[in-house]
Amino acid sequence: MERLRLAQLSDLHLGACLSGGKLALPQKKAETRRAEQRQCLSRFAAHVRDTRPAAVLLPGDLFDSPEPDVDDLNFAINALNSIAPIPVFLAPGNHDAYAPSSPYDPHSALYQSRGSGPKWGSNVRIFAADRFETVPLPGHPNVTVTGVAFHRHVPDTHRPLAELPRAAQNGCRILLFHGSLESYPRAGAEPQVLPFTAAELARAGYTYAAVGHYHRGGPIVGERGELLGAYAGAPFAASLGDLTPGSWLDVELTPQQPLNESALRWHRADDRAIHRIEMDVTGLTDTAALAQRLDGLLAASKAGQRDMVHVTLHGRIARGVAFDPRQALAERFFHAAVDDSRVEPDHAVDLAATPDKEPGLAATSEELFIWRMRKLYQQAPDEAERARIKEALFYGLDALTLGEIHLR
Ligand SMILES: [Mn+2]
């Protein structure tokens, strides 16, 4: 097998709505980000023209939708055509699934409607079938690329590698598809599409698999630690789920087998990152102390001034204290969003106050509970017992009002 360099990028999600969601970028910042998202692809194309790998691998979700707008489509076609004559192999993903209406089909109304818009260049090979197809890599007689398109009519639970016959064991065999390695460390609750295991991939007998879908880049490693393939990761942080810096991937396949992770080199593709901060406000009773805790969390996150931060506040805030860090954060970062919808005021119950008369039938459980605890408190023999009753009151009120208990 010859030494072979490849460049891999996926999950750019061109056309994704950047102003919505919890991050809530205002229109002007969303436009800045939209330009930066395109820049990811232009920079990647420039990198490919500079470094001249044997092929570019795009395993899906280049667009956020199967029918992107014409401007995004023309931009992407121009960028990929600019890489010519280096061949580009594209396997549509679950977002930009192949369909008769998608611009991956040159007969589609969308593709045809663009008048003088650019056509897919002869260097761009789009895998259109819902079954794996194998094509030669031009100029490299011993290299093949085997790819498949995601089709909407194929259920997400379909196992693409189950039907893939074992590859012939000569030459260099590249596999390209969009799917979910079941054991892959996931950032959140990303849906699994076209699942597979490392064992299935190893059995298929390919030299290297370029896989798309997960937005965090990382290797796909077999049982004996051998490298089977990789996710390049999303190059651009589009939403709160994108918590690792955007990246694309250079791959260098060497004649020595098995491959290991030294074949992979990730490149930072997005100058901004999204940081998610969770802060418990419970127990802090003035805004200076609250701001100090938030500063500590921000420092630990390594969020920089070009970045976006999303802060979730939760817990019990002291009565009479209002903590709103929005303005201060807006001045420190490209963008900051604060979700304080889970902050609850602390319970204000004076146990030493004279108890009212016993609550009647119309009383809430909360009123009845406070009345009983107040009586117990006032009958308590010593300070230790009173402290215990105070604790019990807070936990009980947490349970009654929040349905969960905040340890203090
Ligand atoms: Mn996907």
**247-303 residue pLDDT tens:** 999 999 987 778 999 999 999 999 999 999 999 998 888 999 999 999 999 999 999
User: How many angstroms is it from 339 CA to the middle of ligand 1?
Assistant: 27
User: How many angstroms is it from 70 CA to the middle of ligand 1?
Assistant: 21
User: How many angstroms is it from 58 CA to the middle of ligand 1?
Assistant: 12
DSSP state of 267: E
User: How many angstroms is it from 345 CA to the middle of ligand 1?
Assistant: 41
User: How many angstroms is it from 28 CA to the middle of ligand 1?
Assistant: 27
Dihedral angle computed from the Cα positions of residues 273, 274, 280 and 285, in that order, rounded to the nearest 10 degrees: 70
User: How many angstroms is it from 35 CA to the middle of ligand 1?
Assistant: 22
Residue closest to 178 by CA, chosen among 160, 203, 154, 162: 160
User: How many angstroms is it from 356 CA to the middle of ligand 1?
Assistant: 61
In sequence order, which residues have a C-beta less than 8 Å from that of residue 399 and are 6 or more positions away? 405
SS3 of 142, please? Answer: strand
- What pLDDT, on a 0 to 100 scale, did the predictor assign at position 239? 87
Picking from 93-102, 110-119, 184-193, 332-341, which range would have the lowest pLDDT averaged per residue? 184-193
CA distance linking residue 297 with residue 145, whole number of Å: 46
pLDDT confidence tier of residue 108, bands split at 50, 70 and 90: very high
Residue 194: is its pLDDT beyond 70?
A: yes
Instruction: Write out pLDDT tens, residues 305-330.
Output: 999 999 999 988 887 888 999 999 99
- What pLDDT, on a 0 to 100 scale, did the predictor assign at position 153? 87
Q: Is 377 exposed, middle or buried (0-12, 13-18, 19+ CB in 10 A)?
A: buried
SS3 of 206, please? Answer: coil
Ligand 1 (ion): residues with CB under 5 Å are: 61, 93-94, 213
Average pLDDT over residues 335-356: 84
Angle, in degrees to the nearest 10, between helices 27-51 and 70-81: 20
Query: Residues 247, 382: one domain?
Result: no
User: How many angstroms is it from 97 CA to the middle of ligand 1?
Assistant: 9
User: How many angstroms is it from 387 CA to the middle of ligand 1?
Assistant: 54
Q: Average model confidence (pLDDT) for the chain?
A: 92
User: How many angstroms is it from 317 CA to the middle of ligand 1?
Assistant: 40
User: How many angstroms is it from 172 CA to the middle of ligand 1?
Assistant: 26
User: How many angstroms is it from 234 CA to the middle of ligand 1?
Assistant: 10
User: How many angstroms is it from 146 CA to the middle of ligand 1?
Assistant: 19
CA distance linking residue 164 with residue 90, whole number of Å: 18
User: How many angstroms is it from 90 CA to the middle of ligand 1?
Assistant: 14
CA distance linking residue 172 with residue 258, whole number of Å: 12
Say what the pTM is. 0.85
Residue 390: is its pLDDT beyond 90?
A: no
User: How many angstroms is it from 337 CA to the middle of ligand 1?
Assistant: 26
Instruction: Write out pLDDT tens, residues 45-63.
Output: 999 999 999 999 999 999 9
Query: Residues 332, 368: one domain?
Result: no
Query: Residues 25, 94: one domain?
Result: yes
CA distance linking residue 281 with residue 322, whole number of Å: 11
- What pLDDT, on a 0 to 100 scale, did the predictor assign at position 95? 95
Residue 353: is its pLDDT beyond 90?
A: no
Which has the higher per-residue pLDDT, 272 or 189?
A: 272
| Domain final residue pick, 268, 296, 319 | 268
Residue 187: is its pLDDT beyond 70?
A: no
User: How many angstroms is it from 139 CA to the middle of ligand 1?
Assistant: 31
Picking from 121-125, 134-138, 375-379, which range would have the lowest pLDDT averaged per residue? 375-379
User: How many angstroms is it from 62 CA to the middle of ligand 1?
Assistant: 9
Could you tell me if 33 and 21 are in contact, meaning their C-beta atoms sit under 8 angstroms apart?
Answer: no
Query: Residues 294, 358: one domain?
Result: no
CATH code of the domain covering residue 79: 3.60.21.10
Could you tell me if 95 and 64 are in contact, meaning their C-beta atoms sit under 8 angstroms apart?
Answer: yes
User: How many angstroms is it from 179 CA to the middle of ligand 1?
Assistant: 7
CA distance linking residue 172 with residue 137, whole number of Å: 10
Residue 140: is its pLDDT beyond 90?
A: yes
Residue 189: is its pLDDT beyond 80?
A: no
Query: Residues 204, 80: one domain?
Result: yes
User: How many angstroms is it from 17 CA to the middle of ligand 1?
Assistant: 16
User: How many angstroms is it from 66 CA to the middle of ligand 1?
Assistant: 12
pLDDT confidence tier of residue 65, bands split at 50, 70 and 90: very high
- What pLDDT, on a 0 to 100 scale, did the predictor assign at position 188? 64
User: How many angstroms is it from 94 CA to the middle of ligand 1?
Assistant: 5
Secondary structure element (H or E) that encloses residue 344, with its range: strand 335-345
Average pLDDT over residues 161-170: 85
Query: Residues 340, 399: one domain?
Result: no
Query: Residues 116, 140: one domain?
Result: yes
- What pLDDT, on a 0 to 100 scale, did the predictor assign at position 154? 86
User: How many angstroms is it from 134 CA to the middle of ligand 1?
Assistant: 22
Query: Residues 235, 367: one domain?
Result: no
User: How many angstroms is it from 59 CA to the middle of ligand 1?
Assistant: 9
Could you tell me if 393 and 405 are in contact, meaning their C-beta atoms sit under 8 angstroms apart?
Answer: no
Average pLDDT over residues 95-107: 95
CA distance linking residue 193 with residue 10, whole number of Å: 15
Query: Residues 278, 403: one domain?
Result: no
Query: Which amino acid is residue 319, in one-letter code?
Result: R
The structure tokens 């190893």 sit at 202
Residue 408: is its pLDDT beyond 70?
A: no
Query: Residues 124, 81: one domain?
Result: yes
User: How many angstroms is it from 15 CA to the middle of ligand 1?
Assistant: 14
User: How many angstroms is it from 191 CA to the middle of ligand 1?
Assistant: 9
Which has the higher per-residue pLDDT, 340 or 357?
A: 340
Number of structural domains the chain divides into:
3
DSSP 154-169: S-TT--GGGGPPPPPS
Q: φ and ψ at 73, to 5 degrees?
A: -65, -50
Could you tell me if 3 and 209 are in contact, meaning their C-beta atoms sit under 8 angstroms apart?
Answer: no
User: How many angstroms is it from 160 CA to the middle of ligand 1?
Assistant: 15
pLDDT confidence tier of residue 381, bands split at 50, 70 and 90: very high
Query: Residues 137, 209: one domain?
Result: yes
| Domain final residue pick, 237, 268, 299 | 268
User: How many angstroms is it from 340 CA to the middle of ligand 1?
Assistant: 31
User: How many angstroms is it from 123 CA to the middle of ligand 1?
Assistant: 24
Segments forming the whole domain that contains residue 398 = 348-408
| Domain final residue pick, 222, 242, 268 | 268
Average pLDDT over residues 166-179: 91
Query: Residues 214, 302: one domain?
Result: no
Residue 148: is its pLDDT beyond 90?
A: yes
